[in-house]
Amino acid sequence: MSPAREPVSCAAEHAGKIPPQWNPDECGDGGGRWGKRCPSESSWRPGVVLGAKKAGPHDTNTPSPSAPKGFNPPRPPKNPSDCLTSPSVLQKLGKADETRDAAFEEMVANFNKQMTEGTKLQKDLKAYVAAVKTMHDASRRLQDCLADMYEPDWFGKEEMDALAEDTDTLWLDYHQNITDKSLITMDTYLAQFPDIKARIAKRDRKMVDFDSARHHFSSLQKGKKKDEAKIAKPAALLEMAAPSWAQGLISAHQVAQTNLSYNQAEEDLGRAQKIFEELNVELQDELPGLWDNRVGVYVNTFQGLAGQQEKFHREMSKLSQNLNDIMTKLEEQRQLNEEANHSDSASSPPKSAVTNGSDGELPPGFIYKVKAIHDYAATDGDELELKMGDVVLVMAFDNPDEQDDGWLLGVKESHWVQNKDTSAKGVFPENFTQKV
């Protein structure tokens, strides 16, 4: 057993070598003087100057006057983050000597580009669908306004109401079809990206774990002899103090601890490698197919959109032509009314209608006159063929039961004036004429 150590004063202790873990907070009174408490190896912190204020960013490496002689603390780094980017720290985090896969990085870049483009296309499609909905609402309000202004005795009132309903239905179908065949297709296509993105991030994390485990295992492999040498020194000291029968046990214990750490690192490496490779292989199989699939998605999306646009505009063109025809006939009706009003004002007051044929200028059973506002081609022998502008003398049916709703009996005024007979009389649709 070594002799007992003589008590040493604080000043004498500091006169020698400074313990490697000396803490000035535990030795000294903060005023630059040595205190009564002696520093110990377990409390000393390197880089702290005794009795000196905290170093500023522009302080030099000059030791404090109150520091022990020969002690020159290391200068701290200008940027504290430099400590976190040192090679040893990065290796422990798996960032130095990391696994690199240029082909996979290109796949990830393509994936990010594909997701960005798809998201933008989805956003623009939603804006287009919203614009179609706005146009539909505006078209409905316009049709409702026209229907409210259209008077019942104007030409084509029923046709105008039907036209407004058909236009509204066409807009509804167009909006629904582009939503189902274009927008929903894009929504389904983009729904798979968040999961793949999360798996890529997980793969990156597992790659860091794999690199860290690989570095740790490699360090144990390369430093095995060095570790054994480090273990031998304290083991030799312990063996000197231990009985002879325990010396072999101490050496065996140190070797067992080393082997246990080596085996644990090897297991960790195998486990990390398996998890990383499973994710890596899965993504390498999936990402190229997803990248190639984008072309088909774009083709289906825009082909469907173009087809719906073509169908909508074709049907809308027909409805627009019908509206134009109704407006044209309405204008013709207005002109005929103006001509009739001018004719009535220029002529003498009209005679009272007679039904007994006593007036020699009118046929028997005459009721009133009408003027044709449309051409009508007779489809049966008892029908009267009309040309726009023909004046017809309407007559009463001999048998009222023979009269159908919406049909009148009459003879053209020109024929009556020339022949004074009703042999050319016939039935004709009432809505093709108007009273004069």
- For 395-434, the pLDDT digits (tens) are 888 887 788 888 899 999 988 888 888 888 899 999 899 9
d(CA 104, CA 100): 9
Task: Give 125: exposed, middle or buried? Use CB within 10 Å, 0-12, 13-18, 19+.
Answer: buried
Q: Tens digit of pLDDT for each residue in 32-42?
A: 434 444 444 44
Confidence grade of residue 241 (pLDDT, cut at 50, 70, 90): low
| Range in 2-16, 66-80, 96-110, 420-434 the model is least confident about | 2-16
Contacts of 323 (CB under 8 A, 6+ apart): 160, 163
Confidence grade of residue 139 (pLDDT, cut at 50, 70, 90): very high
Looking at residue 43, its pLDDT comes to 40
pTM of the model: 0.51
- Element of type H or E holding 331: helix 244-346
Encode 162-196: b = buried (16+ Cβ within 10 Å), e = exposed. Answer: ebbebbeebbeebbebbbebbbebbeebbeebeee
